[in-house]
Structure 1
Amino acid sequence: MSIEVNNESGFEVDEAEFAALARYVLDEMHVHPQTDLSIMLVGTEVMTELHVKWMDEPGPTDVLSFPMDELRPGRDGEVTPAGLLGDVVLCPEVAAQQAVTAGHSTVEELLLLTTHGILHLLGFDHAEPEEEKEMFALQRRLLLTFLAGR
């Protein structure tokens, strides 16, 4: 599995921790071990450009996901085919503001957003209440079990 973490934001993070989280989430979701994923941390200017271009919404956002091969989670005992999962783009400055409101650290918020972004790449969404309930419960379980094991 190739997980590339590229930090262009100027915000200091442990890139290995983000790669380990992504590896954990993909393993738990039964994604083929040779699947590629990119995680990028960018500043507000870059995130604003991406948000306007791809979502047609003003200002920066916390996370954007750009799926490539539209891979879906495997099931117990079987994994997805190998492929290019896509890109998760994070904005630490927006995450820092959200972390204050949520009452945890910026790094914890970024790890949450990384999990959220990967689930979007795997086809999860939260547009409908039932989808939101499923996705957010899964995201919480994955992040808490990862954090408990580190």
Structure 2
Amino acid sequence: MSIEVSNESGVAVSEEELISIARFVLDRMKVNPAAELSIVLLGTAAMADLHMRWMDLPGPTDVMSFPMDELEPGGRPDAPEPGPAMLGDIVLCPEFAADQAAANGHSLGQELALLTVHGVLHLLGYDHAEPDEEREMFALQQQLLEDWVAEQVELYHKERQSEKDRQLVDKFRNLDEL
């Protein structure tokens, strides 16, 4: 799976984390591993321009999704086997997201992870224009975020344990030399 990040926002963000959450969602949603995704981070002025041009809404927004290939069938997990495709672009505005993160009492990284999941789900055909769609999409979004965080915690603990194991082996290796 090819995921490219282009940070044109001037805000330092963890591109590895954005790739990690996007890859997790695409894997969990059973998107073909040959699929390609682009994540672009823009400043507020550039995002406001896109928002006006594509949505006819003034001012910046947090996330916009621009699908490239028609994904039906195969964009959703309940559809037939998906094929390879250029999924499209997710455009994030870290400055706008930072304000939302502060208002919601969490970090910019957490907000960008949420927005990345949201953007990927839009590329896969999910929407929230109708109440039923909103419930489905937001429940899935929350579950994917929780599962990704749990996986990250597990990986962290495995890495810590591996480091402790390595130190212990090194310690006993040195005893043999005495």
Q: TM-score, normalised by structure 1?
A: 0.95
Q: How far is the alpha carbon of 1:125 from its aligned partner?
A: 0.4
Structure 1: which 5+ residue stretches go unaligned? none
Structure 2: which 5+ residue stretches go unaligned? 153-178
**How do 1:128-143 and structure 2 match up within 5 A?**
128-143=130-145
Runs of 4+, deviation exceeding 4 Å: none
Aligned-partner Cα distance in 2 for 1:138–1:70: 21
Q: Cα RMSD between the aligned structures?
A: 1.3
Contact 1:73 1:79 in 2 (8 A): no
**How do 1:1-150 and structure 2 match up within 5 A?**
1-71=1-71, 72-75=75-78, 79-150=81-152
Give a deviation string over 1:62-116, Cα, whole Å, max 9, x none: 000000112212459x741001100000001110111112111111001100000
Q: How far is the alpha carbon of 1:13 from its aligned partner?
A: 1.2
Q: TM-score, normalised by structure 2?
A: 0.81
SS of residue paired to 1:11: coil
Q: Which amino acid aligns with 2:20?
A: A
Q: Which amino acid aligns with 1:108?
A: Q
Q: How far is the alpha carbon of 1:132 from its aligned partner?
A: 0.4
Residue identity over aligned pairs, in percent, reads 59
Structure number with larger C-alpha Rg:
2
Aligned-partner Cα distance in 2 for 1:43–1:79: 37
- When the two structures are aligned, how many residues end up with a matched partner? 149
